[in-house]
Amino acid sequence: MYIIAFYTDDGAPKTGLSPTIRIRKVSDNSLLVTDAAMAELGDGWYKYDYGAYDEELDYAVRCDAGSSLTTADRYKYAGNESFIDDINTKLSNEHGYGSWGFADGTAGINAKLDRILGLTQENYYVDNTVFNSGGMMTSSRIRTYSNPASIGTANDVIATYTMTATYNGSNEMQSYKVEKV
């Protein structure tokens, strides 16, 4: 299975990077792939061929384009279809209306889709940044928005998160946490 990531630098597709990928198995938190090289496709796209993919397992993926990009552009995150299916099942079980079904019709669906789009970094804003002496971001606030015209304001905020990261003495990330406020 190919895993792809799209990188930009201040909104423009970024080529010439050497991104790496980490893949974890969600069920036991095991690290299956550690900083493997991704291949450039062109036009800002990069890929990794994960030959050990098992569609029955849930995976969490982090791609890192390196320190030549800002922290906001540097990392990409994803889960596989099985993970998304689990989310659909959970929503179905919680609401009793079938996958993505809600008693309030499209309003409920749109609210969930807006949240998912925000979590995939669409209509996403990072501010209140704090950096260590090595220039690495150690904390920030992340907000997701339902309306792109409101990004960076207090209007149309879907959710607010706090990001914290820790680094070792070589400025290599040791932990990264995003919590909903």
Q: Which of 70, 22, 26, 67 is nearest to 48 (CA)?
A: 22
Question: Would you give the DSSP letter of residue 148?
Answer: G
Compute φ and ψ for 101, nearest 5 degrees: -95, 140
Residue 174 in any domain: the answer is: yes
Question: Would you give the DSSP letter of residue 146?
Answer: S
Of residues 105 and 23, the one with the higher pLDDT is 23
Give the pLDDT confidence of 39-98 residue by residue, as tens digits: 999 999 999 999 998 888 888 899 999 999 988 889 988 877 555 445 445 444 444 433
Q: Do 4 and 74 belong to one domain? A: yes
| Residue 75, burial from CB neighbour count under 10 angstroms (0-12, 13-18, 19+) | middle
pLDDT at 73: 87
Q: Do 128 and 67 belong to one domain? A: no
What domain count does the chain have? 2
Q: Do 180 and 127 belong to one domain? A: yes
Q: Which residues of 22-61 are buried (b: 16+ CB within 10 A; e: fewer)?
A: ebbeeeeeeebbeeeebeeeeebebebebeeeeeeebbbb
Distance from C-alpha of 65 to C-alpha of 173, rounded to nearest angstrom? 13
Distance from C-alpha of 24 to C-alpha of 74, rounded to nearest angstrom? 19
Within 10 angstroms of residue 165's Cβ, the number of other Cβ atoms is 18
Q: What are the angstrom distances between the C-alpha of 16 and each of 21, 50, 119, 136, 172?
A: 16, 22, 27, 22, 22
Give the pLDDT confidence of 1-16 residue by residue, as tens digits: 888 888 988 888 999 9
Q: Do 73 and 127 belong to one domain? A: no
pLDDT at 132: 92
Among all chains, which residue has been given the structure tokens 């030959």?
51
The gap between the terminal CA atoms of the chain, to the nearest Å, is 35
97: helix, strand or coil = coil
Of residues 37 and 111, the one with the higher pLDDT is 37
- The domain in which residue 147 lies consists of 121-181
Question: Which residue type, as a one-letter code, is found at position 131?
Answer: F
Q: Do 19 and 74 belong to one domain? A: yes
